[in-house]
Amino acid sequence: MAISDRMKRMSNCVGITLKNDGFKGELYNCFENEPRTFSDVDDFFNIVNTFLDALEFPAQKVKYRTFKKTLPTLKIVDIDPNEKLFETEHLLSLCTRKAYIIMVTGRDNATWQGMIYSKSEDKEYSFNSEVELIRILNN
């Protein structure tokens, strides 16, 4: 089983490579040539959320409220959604070691839903929350 046709068509997929020591690794997308590194789960979710916000897809159904008068300090991923550099299937060649392709199809109820493709297992999984996603990645 190869990566699904649906994942090949979508531009909101990210490829990740996990290192063996904790939840660290590199994150790739179709709009940037260089990977972004993450050092923990929180970094991972922040990078992917800002990437999805830049694409404006899938739309976030819940906006987090705050009483602070300042904007969040998250670094926004600076991409142009109209300038895709390569196709989603190319993410597989960039990712090495323990590699996955993640497609978030929804951000309902303040959590993610989507599909994940494991390169090493050549298998696709679906997830309905960020907790399920992390469980799949840690297997």
* Per-residue pLDDT reduced to its tens digit, 7-18: 988 999 999 999
**Burial status of residue 69 (CB atoms within 10 A of its CB: 0-12, 13-18, 19 or more):** exposed
**Burial status of residue 106 (CB atoms within 10 A of its CB: 0-12, 13-18, 19 or more):** middle
pLDDT, tens only, 48-84: 988 998 898 898 877 666 565 555 555 557 788 888 9
Q: What is the pLDDT of residue 128?
A: 96
Q: Which two tokens stand for residue 87?
A: 């196709």
> Is pTM beyond 0.85 here?
yes
- For residues 37 and 122, give the distance between their C-alpha atoms in angstroms, rounded to a whole number: 24
- For residues 11 and 129, give the distance between their C-alpha atoms in angstroms, rounded to a whole number: 20
- Split into its structural domains, the chain has a count of 1
Q: Provide the residue range defining the domain that includes 90.
A: 5-137
